[in-house]
Structure 1
Amino acid sequence: MPPHASGMEAAEQQVDHLLGEEYEHTPVPPQARRSLFSVTLVWAGFPMIITGAMTGSILVLGMGFARALVAMIIGNLIMLAYVGLLGSLGTRRGFNFALLASVVFGRRGYVLASGLLSTLLLGWYAVQTGITGALVSSTYGLNYVAMTVVAGILYIGITFVGVRGLHYIGLVSIPLFLVLGLWTALHAASTTTWAAIWAYGGNNGVATMSMGVGLTVVIALFIDAGTVTADFNRWARTPRDSILATFSAFPFANIVAMLVGGVMTAALAVPNANPFGADNMFGYMNHMQMAWLSVLAFVFLYCNLGSVCSHCLYNSATGWSRITGSHMRVAAVVLGVLGIIVAAGNIWAFFIQWLSLLGIIVPPIGAVILVDQYLVRPGSVADADWRPTAFIAWAAGSIVAFVVEKTMPGYCTAISAMLVGGIAYGVISAIRKPATQPA
């Protein structure tokens, strides 16, 4: 081993001793598990963000308030079941997503599933970092690239601390969002009536988004992080704690965030509103033209988007550190710098297309894992390099979802992908089982 390698390992061990081991390559032992309060802060601080409010605005603009609310509720209940079941697997075995995927997709095959999701989550980090820079730049007239770099460096720092960093940013971000988000929604609502908000029919009075597409938007917003939920839930002490922490995110935190944006949009009824421009809670607070509120809005934006960015970067770094055999904190720095570079290219502008892609390729991964670990091979271990059955089912779910999106746009691609992927895996496993049993 080269001298510099041993020196790097010693430095990594010192950092782990100071900040805590992250267990990139091994299960989290019982004595290292965290309290229900801590895991809840990690999860609730993830979706309670301004981007969730923007998504709520998009849903209300496209569907009208009443139908958008139905999509929010149904979509979040689906996420509760999906994320809750996957998270419980991580809790029971102490596995992160990469370790869990190696059981289902194979000791080598997991690289495709984990690598894909880790890369998508790095993309989310870049998207949210870019949104931070864009909102600050457009509101305060500051340089976009400079503000993006500042944001990215701050978010890398939070991630570097590890799961404790996610705990601490949630401790700050959640109360800020609850106070400012609810104030924004109620203040906007005071300009009209709740009856008018409920009756809001969509942008310029026209609803253009089907229920299926609305459900896809709700589910796809966190389907990638929800699929790798084991990265977070492996820290829970019991399956009960795992489920309660998940509930704090879906439906609670996610619906709160979406309703903040949705109520504001329906109340103000701005024609052709742009939630990614000034027509969001951040823009609303600055539009009040009160110096103290603008300063608070600035701090809020960095803290709030810092929460989602650090979560995404943590997931990405955990996955890639397992794949490359490296250290999570080293991966976080390298990937974070790469994300900052990508963010400077305004990748966040492709937000809707990004959600559409996630709704096609990600849901079958989680569905295959759920069917395998709860129905087909509960408690199994990684006993093969590749498990073709899992990949065939994944492909089947994604292909059907693609066909649904292109030919049946009124249906939900995310749900189609989940159902087909899970059913395909169950059927193929049932067919193969008699052939593999000894005579």
Structure 2
Amino acid sequence: MTLSDNPVQPGASTAAVVDPDYPVTPVPAHARKSFVSLAVVLLGFTVFTPTMLAGAQLGSAFPLGELVRVILLGSLILGTYVALLGWIGANTGLTTVVMARYVLGNRGSKLGSILLGGTQIGWYGVVIGTIGDLTAQAFEWESDLAKATVMIATSVLMCLTACYGYRGMYWVSAISTPLILILAFWVLFRSLDEVGGWSGLADVEPNGSMTVAVAITTVVGTFVSAGTQAPNWTRFARTGSQALLACVIGFLIGNGLMIFFGATGAMTFGQGDFVLVLYDLGLVTWGLVLLFGNLWKSNADTAYAFGVAGAALFARPSKTPFVIGGSVIGTVLALVGVQNHLVDYLVLLGVFIPPLGGVVIGDYFARWRRGGMPEGEPLPALNVPNLAVYALASAVAWIAKETEFGVPPVFGVVLAALGAYVVGRAGLNRRLSPTGD
């Protein structure tokens, strides 16, 4: 793809870009970022305290040796998937939802915008609600008004950071991520002291049960939905190799570490969340520093993601109105307690979102890798062959989840990627008639 300073959105008018983050157009060469900058943003995205809750489930079900193998395998699957998408994002300069225009058609891509934007608004509400609940727990507040005030104030801060764009998320990540990692490693060492070192940790007997397949699914599922949107940030990379390596650092190493921290917390203290471990150790202030610093940067990334999804859905050049609108919706959801009711919904979205990334990967390698996704390419309203591939892959992933067979996200991604590649190489997409929006 040829990057230009005034790129044109497929199927849209040549309106001037008014958002410096280019939510619906390719990121031009002069706006690309350094590898260090990109790695900081992606690592800050995945160093996410709620991920430790998934680790806690694993820590109570496996001894140390098997636990490490499960985390490594699950993280390898997740990192490979996200790295491929991130590489494509750097080569095209486009977000996932805009790439979906080429893959699913102008109208078909709105499915991707709704799925990706909708799940991120839900996660935003869950995180805001979690902040309010844990703050109230730390200070033993019983007032609903005090809890609501914390939720609204933190939501405003996160929304403003997302509106500021890539630069805002970079600085928040650069400041908070090192602090969080230092604190997390410190608690890990305290955990080892508690049980007599690594040998003592290896001797801890699991008190729960979980199959290896379910455990790998849990590891992959922690960030597979968010990872599908990795191109939102890797499109700022100067080269595809830089984007790929940054994704490995963030989604394989960073996410894997957070799962491991949560697992050791559960094995040692019976807690999977380091914030609650710090509370138990009497370090309430440090617990709140970890909580706010970590969730601030992660939820700013979430708000950014549904902002660019909204811009693509409604074909608008600026993400800001959608960041604000989504933040308001997410805050309202938090105020009514969505964090207590949304888990099953988010797990279900985790089944249906990964196949979307698989279709993007397969179609890109089949049709666009050599010539790129050219600006102004006439596109059909619906790319029926690729939509059919997505539907089939999602159905297989859902059946796998319901029957607890294998690793549903992997089934969805692999089947979607292979199906889209076959359809693309067979030339079925070239027979479609462009119909615009």
TM-score range, shorter chain: 0.7 to 0.9
Task: Return the letter of the residue paired with 2:34.
Answer: S
Q: C-alpha deviations, 1:257-316, integer Å up to 9, x for none?
A: 111111121123x3xx5x4xxxx2112212223xxx422322221111111111111011
Distance 1:284 1:169 in 2: 24
Partner of 1:131: 130
1:55-102, CA deviations, whole angstroms, 9 ceiling, x for partnerless residues?
211221244443332222111111221111111111112112222111
Equivalent in 161, 164, 173 of residue 164 of structure 2: 161
Q: Is the 8 A contact 1:359 1:413 kept in 2?
A: no
Shift of 1:169: 1.0
Contact 1:76/1:254, CA 8 A, preserved across alignment: yes
Question: Alpha-carbon deviation of 1:141?
Answer: 2.1
C-alpha displacement of 1:376? 4.2
In structure 2, do the counterparts of structure 1 residues 37 and 427 end up closer, same or farther at CA, with 3 Å as the change threshold?
Answer: closer
1:3 maps to: none
In the alignment, the residues of structure 2 paired with residue 328 and residue 131 of structure 1 have an alpha-carbon distance, to the nearest angstrom, of 26
Q: Which position in structure 1 is the counterpart of 2:312?
A: 322
Unmatched tracts of structure 2, length 5 or more = 1-15, 433-437
Check 1:110–1:435 CA distance in 2 against 1; reply closer, same or farther (3 A cut).
closer
RMSD: 2.3
Q: Distance in 2 between matches of 1:105 and 1:145?
A: 41
Cα shift readout 1:302-361 (whole Å, capped 9, x = no counterpart): 111111111111011011012223321121111111110011222223465245313310
How far did 1:33 drift? 0.7
TM-aligned CA distance change 1:55 to 1:347, over 3 Å? same
Question: Does 2:398 correspond to 1:397?
Answer: no
Distance 1:236 1:244 in 2: 11
* Structure 1 contact 221–355 (Cα < 8 Å) conserved: no
Provide the rounded CA distance (Å) in 2 between the counterparts of 1:430 and 1:36.
33
- Please, which of 349, 352, 365 is the counterpart of residue 358 of structure 1? 349
The 1:179–1:295 alpha-carbon spacing in structure 2 relative to 1, beyond 3 Å, is same
Q: Alignment partner for residue 178 of structure 2, among 137, 160, 175?
A: 175
| Distance in 1, Cα, partners of 2:388 & 2:63 | 39
What is the percentage of aligned positions where both structures have the same residue? 23
Task: Tell me which amino acid in the other structure corresponds to 1:237.
Answer: R
The change in CA–CA distance for 1:435 and 1:41 in structure 2 (over 3 A counts) is: closer
Q: Which residue of 2 aligns with 1:206?
A: 208
| CA–CA distance in structure 1, aligned partners of residues 429 and 103 of structure 2 | 19
Determine the structure 1 residue equivalent to 2:65.
66
Q: Do 1:211 and 1:410's aligned partners in 2 also have CA atoms closer than 8 Å?
A: no
Secondary structure in 2 matching 1:216: helix
Counterpart-to-counterpart distance in 1, 2:419 and 2:255: 30
Distance in 2, Cα, partners of 1:183 & 1:162: 32
State the SS of the aligned residue for 2:20.
coil
Secondary structure of the equivalent of 1:300?
helix
Equivalent residue, structure 1, for 2:89 = 90
Structure 2 partner of 1:281: 274
TM-aligned CA deviation for residue 396 of structure 1 = 0.6
Partner residue, 2:9: none
Matched, 1:341 2:337: no
Matches of 1:201 and 1:385 in 2, distance apart? 56
Out of 413, 416, 424, the residue aligned to residue 408 of structure 2 is 413
Q: Report the secondary structure of 1:190's partner residue.
A: helix
More displaced stretch, 362-371 vs 53-62: 53-62
Report the Cα distance in structure 1 between the residues aligned to 2:47 and 2:101, rounded to whole angstroms: 31
- Give matches, 1:359-378, under 5 Å: 359-378=350-369
CA contact under 8 A between 1:397 and 1:416: conserved in structure 2?
yes
Alignment of 1:221-370 (within 5 A): 221-268=222-269, 270=270, 275=272, 280-289=273-282, 293-326=283-316, 327-350=318-341, 352-370=343-361
Per mean C-alpha deviation after superposition, the further-off stretch among 410-419 and 373-382 is: 373-382
> Does the 8 A contact of 1:90 with 1:230 survive in 2?
yes
Q: Which residue of 2 aligns with 1:99?
A: 98
Contact 1:397 1:418 in 2 (8 A): yes
Distance 1:433 1:161, change over 3 A: closer
2:147 aligned with 1:148: no
CA distance in 1, matches of 2:277, 2:415: 42
TM-score (norm 2): 0.87
1:424 aligns with 2:419: yes
Partner amino acid, structure 2, of 1:106: G
> Aligned partner of 1:152: which letter?
S
Query: For residues 421 and 106 of structure 1, do their structure 2 counterparts lie closer, same or farther at Cα, with a shift above 3 Å needed?
Result: same
CA contact 2:118–2:306 (8 Å) conserved in 1: yes
Q: Structure 2 counterpart of 1:329, which letter?
A: T
Distance, in Å, in 2 between the alignment partners of 1:221 and 1:215 is: 10
Compare the two structures and name the one with the higher helix fraction. Answer: 1
Deviations 1:25-52 (A, max 9, x none): 2111000111111111110001112112
Q: Which residue type is aligned with residue 286 of structure 1?
A: Y
CA distance in 1 between counterparts of 2:165 and 2:43 reads 17
TM-score (norm 1): 0.87
Structure 1 letter corresponding to 2:358:
A
- State whether residues 87 and 242 of structure 1, in contact with CA within 8 Å, keep that contact through their aligned partners in structure 2: yes
Change (3 A) 1:67 1:228: same
Measured in 2, the distance between the counterparts of 1:428 and 1:160 equals: 39
For 1:351 and 1:72, the matched residues in 2 are separated by 25
Counterpart amino acid of 1:344? L
**Alignment partner, residue 117 of structure 1:** 116
Q: Which amino acid is 2:393 matched to?
A: G
Contact kept, 8 Å, 1:67 with 1:211, in 2: the verdict is no
The correspondence of residues 32-43 of structure 1 with structure 2, limited to 5 A, is 32-43=31-42
